[in-house]
Structure 1
Amino acid sequence: MYKFRAAAWLLAATFVPAFLPDAAVDAATLRVMSSGGFTAAYKILGPQFSAQTGNTLETELGPSMGQSYEAIPNRLARGESADVVIMVGYALDELIRQGVVDPQSRVELADSRIGMVVRQGQTVPDIRTERALRETLLQAKSVAYSDSASGVYIEKELFTRLGISAQMQGKASKIPKIPVATVVADGQYEIGFQQVSELLPVSGVSFAGRIPESVQSVTRFAAGIPVNAPHPAEARALLEYLAAPGVQSIVKDTGLDSVEK
């Protein structure tokens, strides 16, 4: 767990939406559960929100789906309390369907595309076309992909669309819990695939680019407020801030794409 706290130096340069109060009379501590794809943007925007409102954000990171102990749906199922959940859109929709998250609270945040990395110092392959991507995958001795939305797509659809499912058996592996780029940086795998926003923050790798749009899978990240949230009003202000037009340049700088209205 880590805490985002107000920092005075952020105030001067921070975008201030009209819906935020000038100061929080009774500051709240909001508990946020966030999955990987939006984390880089959230680590910048969260402290800015805290600086403007006086509210503290306590954040737990975990995947949007899967069987791991840290997965957001599993945390909520165990009875852990949260004011805000930030996750893959269709996983959030399932929590809404289950009655766990308020359907009226759903806010769309950003679109995330899949990219590829190699170990720093290695030749960066050209993956701008389907043919080039296919050849890169066939030539690679080992391939890593995530256990979240991008990895599900790669395992279940991308290899099939490229016609190389059989060739990838035995050399393509799903990496649970940790960023895929870390196992490429330490030499365990030759190339790695994950959402761009999760690849860019990792040192020790070189970014090869996004996979071609013709075989790309776009993951929508969204956020919502659990029905038993302790601070729903403050949570709503946080969601509006994260989705505000004035912060989109920051969102894009982390490798995400703004949601087209």
Structure 2
Amino acid sequence: MRKLLQSIALLASAGLATAAQAEQLQVMTSGGFTAAYQLLGPKFAAASGNTLETSLGPSMGKAPEAIPNRLARGEKADVVIMVGYALDELIKQGKVDPASRVELADSRIGMVVRAGAPKPDIGSVEALKQTLLAANSVAYSDSASGVYVENQLFKRLGIEDQLKPKATMVPKIPVGSVVAKGDYQVGMQQVSELLPVPGVSFVGKLPEAVQSVTRFAAGIPVNAQHPRQAKALLDYLASPGAQQDVQATGLDSVSR
């Protein structure tokens, strides 16, 4: 509670907690940080008086909802929250102010099975390998975690050829949702994207030796209409008072 009050005080000290200054901020956020944002966004809005209009989309990829594609079409945003290296690419392109970049959290990859199904052993690299070989079907996302699974994890485990016929990249929707329906036996995605999905059981995180840690970060587009209020939101999301909610969603706080 003390940390939350400190964060609220930070907002007030920024001169944003008055109705006269309230603005509607356009926020684009990608899957991995979304659960934390959904907890923290309303607290920021209540403390600052601003409102948040939120668009969801992946950090990369060909889907029209992907944040880079939204910006390329001319959609306006005051804040973008996404995979760090994808944000860095937008900074290189001159679309996001480099001075605004804030690191938010680390995200690790986990596995789920359908609720009620036996939980397989993934406690070691060899156990994970055998679990994937034994699975009838495997699903993974079309964002950062899925790119790693498809291009690196299967190769590192030496099972790329065996997994190719039965492993599928699932676009746009949470991987857990297709596992919950029974379309796939196991699913892998960032833990923060798996935990909110009903109808699945969380097996655990991949072993650290073959884990891929994705850093989530945020920034302010160069054409943002409300950059001052946007900075206050980013300061709040990265503040000590926000970390309990960040960790509750399966993310790991960034060491500062």
Q: 2:35 aligned with 1:44, yes or no?
A: no
Check if 1:21 corresponds to 2:16.
no
- 1:70 corresponds, among 65, 70, 86, to 65
Aligned pairs for 1:123-202 (under 5 A) are 123-202=118-197
Instruction: Provide the residue aligned with 2:99 in structure 1.
Output: 104
Query: What residue in structure 2 maps to residue 6 of structure 1?
Result: none
Q: Is the 8 A contact 1:117 1:205 kept in 2?
A: yes
More helix per residue: 1 or 2?
2
Give yes or no for the alignment of 1:82 onto 2:77.
yes
Q: Distance in 1 between matches of 2:5 and 2:157?
A: 44
Contact 1:118–1:124 (CA under 8 A) maintained in structure 2: yes
> What is the CA deviation profile of residues 64-115 of structure 1, one whole-angstrom value per residue up to 9, with x for unaligned ones?
0000010000000000000000000000000000000000000000000000
- How far off its partner does 1:246 sit? 1.4
Q: So what's the TM-score if we normalise by structure 2?
A: 0.96
> TM-score when scaled to structure 1?
0.94
Count of matched residue positions in the alignment of Structure 1 and Structure 2: 251
Do the aligned residues in 1 keep the contact of 2:3 with 2:240 (CA within 8 Å)?
Answer: no
Q: CA deviation at 1:21?
A: 1.6
Letter in 2 for 1:107: V
1:208 to 190, 203, 212: 203
Which ranges of structure 1 fall in alignment gaps of 5 or more residues?
1-10
Q: How far is the alpha carbon of 1:15 from its aligned partner?
A: 3.4
Structure-1 separation of matches of 2:61 and 2:106: 20
Would you identify which runs of 4 or more consecutive aligned residues in structure 1 move more than 6 Å? Answer: none
Residue by residue, what CA displacement relative to the aligned partner does 1:177-228 show, whole Å, maximum 9, x if unpaired? 0000000000000000000000000010000000000000000000000000
1:252 and 1:111, CA in 2 relative to 1: closer, same or farther beyond 3 A?
same
Overall identity of the aligned pairs, in %: 68
C-alpha contact 1:16 1:52 (8 A) present in aligned 2: no
Distance 1:187 1:180 in 2: 11
Pairwise CA distance, 1:16: 4.0
The whole-number CA distance in structure 2 between the counterparts of 1:16 and 1:51 is: 14
Question: Is 1:220 paired with 2:211?
Answer: no
Greater shift, 138-147 or 244-253, is seen at: 244-253
Q: Deviations over 1:133-175 (max 9, x none)?
A: 0000000000000000000000000000000000001100000
List gaps (5 residues or longer) in structure 2. none
CA contact (8 A) 2:140 2:187 kept: yes
